Amino acid sequence: MSGPQAKKLFVKTYGCQMNVYDSERMAEALGAEGYVPTDVIEDADMVLLNTCHIREKASEKLYSDLGRLKPLKAEKPGLKIGVAGCVAQAEGAEILRRMPLVDLVVGPQAYHRLPEMLRLPGQSVDTDFPAEDKFDHLPARKGRRGPTAFLTVQEGCDKFCAFCVVPYTRGAEVSRPAARLLAEARDLVSRGVREITLLGQNVNAWHGESPAGGVWGLGHLVRELAAIPGLDRIRYTTSHPNDMAEDLISAHAEVPQLMPYLHLPVQSGSDRILKAMNRKHTAAHYLDLVARIRAARPDMLLTSDFIVGFPGETDADFEATMALIRAVHYGAAFSFKYSARPGTPAAEKPPVAAEIADSRLQALQALILDQQHAAQAAMVGREVQVLYEKPGRLPGQMVGKSQHLMAVFVQDPTGQVGDLVRARVSASAPNSLAADRIPD
């Protein structure tokens, strides 16, 4: 309980949505040990940094943040400092050597052991990939929740793209059993959740044990989730083009709760670079897949990730990427300059000059931004459904997401967080829409 004696926990999350989910679960595990969350770092009895290793910048952020914690730790020697997530997994004890103020380092598969670690004297490290399932050892989730939630269904990656650390930091692909996921989803819905985003590093590679002992694919899981009364919206991320099964594509045509939005990273449009990246598909294969997905769900909004300046990328390779983007018409995309990561195969290869990579990134981002503006502008005059997530800044205004995950501002003085309403889009801005509520 949160009495005056309660210890306070400050959590900072970097990286992907799975880290957001993990941070929640870690806070709950520590909650069972008497920690209550705080947003004020100076009040904290424990600071937990949940880190990301994906690019050099993300990783270095940990060390600058730890440096800034030195005065606080000097003032408050009892302060516990923990490092979790993918840098913890990749660098382990090295973090303690570089930063003696850190008390514990815990990897993404071992964080259910956090409470035990806290009881150990001195510094401790746990970067095991334990045989037990961490989810079996985490406390049950409690309390009322907001209208949207994440649910990890799959973790890890067996793909080994030549640039990527995830297979090393998250380990091999593991799918959680369907019965557990259905139970967790029902529980979330009973606490007020109306939209669930299924998470996995390769979420569409999920192939979990079915309640009857067989194996389901993600399309089947989506259909079972859609049968839960009160679960109005289902999303999933991140998908790999090679794991987009027919049954999942047809679920987009058949399951109204499955939202018409898909993050489908392609990384490059050049077959030569895709091969060097070990993506195991061509640009034509990706474009064909996009066509099949759009045939199933014509209003599907697609987003992607791109890497520019991968070792060996020529102007022609980059142009092939731009051509692919022009062919697809994305709703948005994340794009990154290639960052060499220690231990990955591509890190051995000579890099593309930084100025060249910078100018490619700029050109690519300008094109994506044009497409994003066009996708937003195309919504004007159309009816959307909005799930209110919070009040807006203006009086009587509510903010939520449309089916296509666009932020929508609605003037609705009687609107409540958690309402799912119909609205007509009146104006578009680069990152949001304005809409008028359509009375029920």
| Cα-Cα-Cα-Cα dihedral sign, residues 148, 153, 155, 160 | negative
Out of 109, 124, 169, 304, point to the residue binding ligand F3S (CB under 6 A): 169
The burial of 136, by beta-carbon neighbours within 10 Å (0-12 exposed, 13-18 middle, 19 or more buried), is given as: exposed
Nearer CB in complex with ligand F3S: 57/98: 57
End-to-end CA gap in the chain: 41
Q: How many residues of this chain bind ligand F3S (CB under 6 A)? A: 14
Does 15 interact with ligand F3S (rule: CB under 6 A)?
Answer: yes
The C-alpha atoms of residue 192 and residue 301 are separated, in whole angstroms, by 27
Tell me which residues in 70-99 interact with ligand F3S (CB under 6 A): 85-86
Q: In what order do the strands lie in the sheet with 46-51?
A: 35-37, 7-13, 46-51, 80-84, 104-106, 124-126
Nearest-approach distance from CB 263 to ligand SF4, in angstroms: 11
Return the H-helix or E-strand segment holding 20: helix 17-31
Pairing relationship of beta strands 35-37 and 7-13 according to DSSP bridges:
parallel
Place of tokens 């079915």: 210
Does 338 interact with ligand SAH (rule: CB under 6 A)?
Answer: yes
Query: Hey, what's the torsion of the CAs at 225, 230, 235, 236, to 10 degrees?
Result: -40
Does 358 interact with ligand SAH (rule: CB under 6 A)?
Answer: no
Does 254 interact with ligand SAH (rule: CB under 6 A)?
Answer: no
Does 263 interact with ligand F3S (rule: CB under 6 A)?
Answer: no
Nearer CB in complex with ligand SAH: 238/257: 238
Nearest-approach distance from CB 381 to ligand F3S, in angstroms: 37
The C-alpha atoms of residue 224 and residue 247 are separated, in whole angstroms, by 13
Give which of ligand SAH, ligand F3S, ligand SF4, none residue 167 binds (C-beta under 5 to 8 Å, depending on kind). Answer: ligand SF4
Nearer CB in complex with ligand F3S: 15/260: 15
The C-alpha atoms of residue 365 and residue 142 are separated, in whole angstroms, by 42
User: Interacting stretch for ligand F3S, rule CB under 6 A, among 13-21, 189-197, 283-291, 317-325?
Assistant: 13-21
Nearer CB in complex with ligand SF4: 15/147: 15
For residues 302 and 337, is the Cβ–Cβ distance under 8 A? no
Secondary structure (3-state) at 281 = coil
Does 386 interact with ligand F3S (rule: CB under 6 A)?
Answer: no
The helix-helix angle for 283-296 and 315-328 (nearest 10°) equals 10
Tell me how many helices (H) and strands (E) the chain has: 13, 19
Give which of ligand SF4, ligand SAH, ligand F3S, none residue 53 binds (C-beta under 5 to 8 Å, depending on kind). Answer: ligand F3S
Does 19 interact with ligand F3S (rule: CB under 6 A)?
Answer: yes
Nearest-approach distance from CB 167 to ligand SF4, in angstroms: 5
Q: How many residues of this chain bind ligand SAH (CB under 6 A)? A: 17
Q: Residue of minimal CB distance from ligand F3S?
A: 15
Pairing relationship of beta strands 154-155 and 174-175 according to DSSP bridges:
antiparallel
Nearer CB in complex with ligand F3S: 16/114: 16
Does 170 interact with ligand F3S (rule: CB under 6 A)?
Answer: yes
Strands (E), 224-368: 233-237, 261-263, 301-308, 332-337
Does 202 interact with ligand SF4 (rule: CB under 6 A)?
Answer: yes
Six-digit token string for 14: 């970097």
Does 107 interact with ligand F3S (rule: CB under 6 A)?
Answer: no
For residues 181 and 174, is the Cβ–Cβ distance under 8 A? no
Place of tokens 């999933």: 236
Does 307 interact with ligand SAH (rule: CB under 6 A)?
Answer: yes
Does 220 interact with ligand SAH (rule: CB under 6 A)?
Answer: no
Tell me which residues in 145-174 interact with ligand SF4 (CB under 6 A): 157, 159-161, 164, 166-167
Nearer CB in complex with ligand SAH: 223/341: 341
Q: Report phi then psi at 205, rounded to 5.
A: -85, 0
Nearer CB in complex with ligand SAH: 60/436: 60
Does 238 interact with ligand SAH (rule: CB under 6 A)?
Answer: yes
Binding site for ligand SF4 (CB under 6 A): 157, 159-161, 164, 166-167, 201-202, 240
Binding site for ligand F3S (CB under 6 A): 15-16, 18-19, 52-54, 85-86, 165-166, 169-170, 201
Binding site for ligand SAH (CB under 6 A): 54-55, 163-164, 166, 201-202, 238, 240, 265, 267, 305, 307, 336, 338-339, 341
